[in-house]
Amino acid sequence: MNKIVDLLNGSMNGKIAEIRGWIYRIRSSGALCFIVLRDSSGIIQAVGSRNTLGEEKMKDLVSLTIESSISITGTVRQDPRAITGYELDISDFRIYQRNENFPITKDKGEEFLLDMRHLWLRSREMTSIMKIRSTAFKAFSDFFYSNGYYQTQGPMMVSTATEGGSTLFKLQFFGEEVSLAQSSQFYLEVMMFSLEKVFTIAPSFRAEKSRTRRHLTEYWHAEGEAAWYSNEDMMKDEEKMIEYIVSEVLKSNREDLELLKRDISKLETVKAPFPRIRYSDLIKMSNEWGMSLKYGDDLGADEEREITVHFDKPVFVTHYPEALKTFYHRPDPESPGEILCHDLLAPEGFGEIIGGGERIWDLNELLEKIKKYDLNPDDYYWYVDLRRYGSIPHSGFGLGMDRLVWWICGLESIREAIPFPRTIRRIKP
Ligand code: 4AD
């Protein structure tokens, strides 16, 4: 059995091949039947003729419909007019399933396609996005493995909020109200005391009420935590990681990016180091660009879109005002009211893909912050204990993998970047 891609490089020209897959397009004209077959590796046109196949088999072939499953044996022939440069002259075939009419046709709207996600994922665009996503997940893990990090896992059912109560998904846990994890950060901090440098890729859950093109209620969160690291140390690993992931996608998925009509030149400039801009300076810059942001304003999806069109590579924004971020961020001793943190904003209007920074590691400072944020210290006893026994400076980050894929692929909405999107209005299929 051959994969379609292997028929397209010239080495099989004139030889007999057997491929199997699904019918992507089919039409017949007189004594010929043209089938575009797809498998996970690509597409090729196969041509059946009445002369070769005979009346009965030809009837079988012509009556097939889109997405029917079939294997085909035939001779590979180079033909510059063919959709992928080669054709297969069919000598025999076997039908696995003859379909009813496939429900997805050309003019369908977005909601219909989301309802039909289980079938729409077979489209060429979605296949390319999913291949790029696969490369990105592998490259993320490879990067951290080869930089001395260990992979670990935290629980998804938790009793402690990390990112504030407003986006918590509550659930019943044998009579107790608990929630789904918003982040694995606190558990990575625990693991850091034995493994020093750790990462995880896990779902995170946010009951986001917003309906922006960049929010999911369940998303894939790639997080890292490193002992002895400053905010700057962490940013250095992150920018190299982003550069590495993008270069791996450029290496493995060029055709997929082309199929998605992504402007590849925009990805080729993604090379570390990335600029670092303090939040206060960014506010001033935004005013020069005609925006009316004031110091202390949060940057939402709209603001980040307006800001990042001015950049051609990702940019770190550091030193946010304390009030804009959650309690665990370490205040900057040299810049009162600001914290040692960073967001990484993707260029071209995409905006935040990473949030991270230094963690408070002094026991009393953390206890005060917990009080100031009106949190119950009992809920955080284990997190506080980390500052009681052998505390050390450390930093970490969280990268939204779906946002990363959304940006790399240059998609309209984050929903296209994940196989089964969960949003405020979608829980199926
Ligand atoms: O900035 P966030 O909320 O930071 C944290 O959760 C930290 N505990 C991470 C850490 O330091 N370990 O989220 C981190 C990233 C964001 O930059 C964004 O890319 C992604 O997670 N993210 C979302 N992605 C899709 N849908 C949502 N609703 C998201 N919320 C955050």
Strands across the sheet containing 176-180:
157-158, 176-180, 170-173
- Ligand 1 touching residue 219 (CB < 6 A): yes
Of 403, 415, 422, the one to substitute when testing ligand 1's pocket (max ligand atoms within 8 A of C-beta) is 403
Give the position, in ligand 1's atom list, of the atom nearest the Cα of 223: 12
Where does 224-362 have alpha helices with state H?
231-252, 254-259, 265-268, 279-288, 301-308
Q: Residue 10 contacts by C-beta under 8 Å, 6 or more apart in sequence?
A: 78
- Ligand 1 touching residue 286 (CB < 6 A): no
Q: Tell me: pLDDT of 161 over 90.
A: no
Percent of the chain beyond pLDDT 70? 100
Note the pLDDT of residue 294.
97
Q: How many CB atoms lie within 10 A of CB 398?
A: 23
Give the position, in ligand 1's atom list, of the atom nearest the Cα of 344: 17
- Ligand 1 touching residue 398 (CB < 6 A): yes
What are the tokens at 26?
A: 């089919």
- Ligand 1 touching residue 183 (CB < 6 A): yes
- d(C-alpha 147, C-alpha 164), whole Å: 31
| Exposure letters 137-157 (e unless 16+ CB within 10 A, then b) | bebbeebbeeeebeebebeee
Q: Tell me: pLDDT of 35 over 90.
A: yes
Q: Considering only CA atoms, which of 99, 41, 35 is closest in space to residue 72?
A: 35
Domains in the chain, CATH or no CATH each: 4-97 (2.40.50.140), 114-417 (3.30.930.10)
DSSP β-bridge partners for residue 42: 39
What are the tokens at 209?
A: 């009420």
Q: How far is the CA of 286 from the centre of ligand 1 (A)?
A: 23
Q: How far is the CA of 241 from the centre of ligand 1 (A)?
A: 17
- Ligand 1 touching residue 218 (CB < 6 A): no
- Ligand 1 touching residue 215 (CB < 6 A): yes
What pLDDT digit, counting tens, does each position of 194-224 carry?
999 999 999 999 998 878 899 999 999 999 9
User: Ligand 1: which residue has its CA nearest to atom 29?
Assistant: 215
- Ligand 1 touching residue 403 (CB < 6 A): yes
Average pLDDT, the chain: 96
Q: How far is the CA of 118 from the centre of ligand 1 (A)?
A: 27
Q: Considering only CA atoms, which of 352, 284, 266 is closest in space to residue 317?
A: 352
Note the pLDDT of residue 30.
83
Note the pLDDT of residue 209.
84
Split at pLDDT 50, 70, 90, the class of 419 is: very high
Split at pLDDT 50, 70, 90, the class of 418 is: very high
Note the pLDDT of residue 107.
87
Split at pLDDT 50, 70, 90, the class of 118 is: very high
User: Ligand 1: which residue has its CA nearest to atom 6?
Assistant: 183
- Ligand 1 touching residue 354 (CB < 6 A): yes
C-alpha neighbours within 13 Å on the C-beta side of residue 184: 26
